[in-house]
Amino acid sequence: MGALAEKTLDGIRADVATTLQQFGFHSTHTEKIVKTCVPEASPGLAAPVCDLDILFRELKEMDIKIALCTADSRRATEEQMQILGIEHMLDDVVCGNDKGIIPKPSPHCAIQICKRLGVELDEAVMVGDTIADLKMGRVAGLRASVAVLSGVGTRETLSEYTDYYLDDASTLPSLIRDEIHQDFYNKRG
């Protein structure tokens, strides 16, 4: 994995500028090149690998709060959420260019999301496809970090930071019910 999958837009742009300067470009030129050649993420390019409406409805029926923490910009994220039709299902959204955030893999965003949603850290689950996603869950002390293998990460690259693997997110509700929060759902009957 690398910067495109894990860093914020500002982080990617800084890396590109540094590389250009290492190749002899003057800093006054690198800013213009970076702004032209490193645009925001293009909404509409992501395609769901499972039925998100069914997935999110199942999670909501289980009284699970859903948050999104992404390195993408707020504008691109909101456009993508609208295209996918999921914006009304999310309880919180944190983006890479939101003021005051410390990007993944820092636990900052996970801690802030849990605080805002009234969820204890040891009851929250991080689901992601990058090392930064899963490491954030681990460092924050979340109950579990779940690797989704339908994204950029592989079993090998994500193994150090994951507790569970899913081919795609469609089986997340049963994993939560039958494995991760088995104690809670068994008590409910």
Tens digit of each residue's pLDDT (9 = 90 or more) over 103-141: 999 999 999 999 999 999 999 999 999 999 999 999 999
- Residue percentage of the chain with pLDDT more than 90: 59
Residues 82 and 173 in one domain: yes
Tens digit of each residue's pLDDT (9 = 90 or more) over 166-185: 999 999 999 999 998 887 66
Tens digit of each residue's pLDDT (9 = 90 or more) over 84-110: 899 999 999 999 999 999 999 999 999
Q: Does the residue 45 lie in any domain?
A: no
Per-residue DSSP letter, 143? S
Q: Does the residue 43 lie in any domain?
A: no
Residues 110 and 28 in one domain: no
In sequence order, the 6+-apart residues with CB closer than 8 A to the CB of 56 are: 66, 86, 89
Residues 60 and 152 in one domain: yes
What is the rounded average pLDDT of the residues 147-167?
92
Q: Does the residue 46 lie in any domain?
A: no
Q: What is the pLDDT of residue 181?
A: 81
What is the rounded average pLDDT of the residues 4-29?
64
The range of the structural domain enclosing residue 97 comes to: 52-188
Q: What is the pLDDT of residue 49?
A: 76
Residues 11 and 69 in one domain: no
What is the count of structural domains for the chain?
2
Residues 94 and 156 in one domain: yes
Q: What is the pLDDT of residue 13?
A: 63
Q: Does the residue 44 lie in any domain?
A: no
Take residue 166 and report the two structure tokens written for it: 């899913």
Residues 80 and 21 in one domain: no
In 28-48, which positions are buried (b, 16+ CB within 10 angstroms) versus exposed (e)? eebeeebeeebeebebeeeeb
Of 155, 89, 135, 130, whose CA–CA distance to 5 is shortest? 130
Peptide bond into 43 cis (omega under 30): no
Residues 84 and 128 in one domain: yes
Q: What is the pLDDT of residue 48?
A: 72
69 vs 71 pLDDT, higher one: 69
33 vs 162 pLDDT, higher one: 162
Residues 22 and 106 in one domain: no
Peptide bond into 105 cis (omega under 30): yes
pTM flag (> 0.85): no
Residues 30 and 73 in one domain: no
